[in-house]
A and B are shown apart, each in its own frame.
Chain A
């Protein structure tokens, strides 16, 4: 599991940790049934507060990507397969946007608009 955080960035740390896990799932590096490392270890490795990591794990649980089980920790759910498939579409979208000379930030804004529309 690859986690990257930038303490200097505007985004809250727990959002960045969740985004890292989501990116790993999307890229297929984490699959259904894989266990996320214990929050305690992730927090120690990143040198952040334990609750930051727990908050990230809880958000992922609320999204349905992860199941929190007693004794087993956070386990990736079947929804991961859907996200990984979606990532294929996302890559295609990015490629098309690049061909149109649309910047990644502009594309992201358009995607957000489209998501807010419904």
Chain B
């Protein structure tokens, strides 16, 4: 009996079913409490505990739905399909547990903040929400631990492909392999939408007139723009000096010299499970410029650390790098 369906089923339970139950339960409890609440209700409390922000009860219901259903739903959507395809890794366990923790936290918050305002006529006279916040954090923590324990401990499988084309280098010959690698088309769309939203938000905040807020939003937008521009496309080059991976904008750049190379492989990389996400990533004992699923060149350095870069025709690149490394260290 294989364990693969088991992991997917457990993730479904932890990241979808349980959060949905908590979410629906919390929303039902909120709807039951609704008639007993003042309008507006308190939705924000200062550090001392006194209510200082007010809104319609619908606000709290919407926030609860967001935190118990939408956010865990997004986490499930980014993990469940991959796990169903057979991918494994620490990231799935973390995100699955996080989905359940979030749901428990927001369910407790949603029910609690309304429960303490039951029967009030003036929300401003209501009690402190600090105990509710503490209870929500504890509930979230407990749920997170439960989710973590239910999900199995499974490392990402290393998918080594044994189709590296050996390259014959004649004396005096210079061999270079070059290719550009970039993120998948779907990711381009997602990032473009994100950037567009940020730009619109910046414009909106500038028009509202609060200088500090406008500067903050603009700084965030610029940082995101720089991050996207520098980490979504790279030039990969294999030559006598080893492996060079350089952002199309010039920085960041990564280099592995032939003397530092112990092993070269062509692998099938699944960044979600192996690195916890896409882009320039770090994981225990590994570093990667992993922009998409699939073909990747993987170098094992002296000392055991691995550097991975997702790029097409990685089999040829591996063959060239192996030959050049042997030549350099001969």
Contact = CB atoms under 8 A, between A and B. Distances in A.
* B-side interface mostly: strand
Contacts of B176: 2-4, 42, 45-46
B178 A7 contact: no
Interface string A18-52: 00000000000100000101000110011100000
B175 A35 contact: no
A94 interface: no
Contacts of A3: 175-178
Interface in B237-252: 237, 239
Contacts of A46: 174, 176
A2 B313 CA distance: 10
A2 B173 contact: no
Interface size classification for chain A: 10 to 19
A8 interface: yes
Interface residues of B, number: 17
A6 B316 contact: no
A1 B178 CA distance: 5
Contacts of B239: 45
Contacts of A7: 172, 174
A5 interface: yes
* Interface residues of A, dominant DSSP: mixed
Given A4-B173, A6-B170, A41 B316 contact: no
B180 interface: yes
A6 B178 contact: no
Contacts of B170: 6
Nearest to A28: B313
Contact of A6 (B173, B177, B235): B173
Interface of B: 169-170, 172-180, 235, 237, 239, 313, 316, 320
Interface of A: 1-8, 29, 35, 37, 41-42, 45-47
- The 7 lowest CB-CB distance pairs between A and B, nearest first, are A45-B176, A8-B172, A37-B178, A6-B173, A4-B175, A3-B176, A2-B177
15 contacts: A1-B178, A1-B179, A2-B176, A2-B316, A3-B176, A4-B169, A4-B176, A37-B180, A37-B235, A41-B235, A41-B237, A45-B178, A45-B239, A46-B174, A46-B176
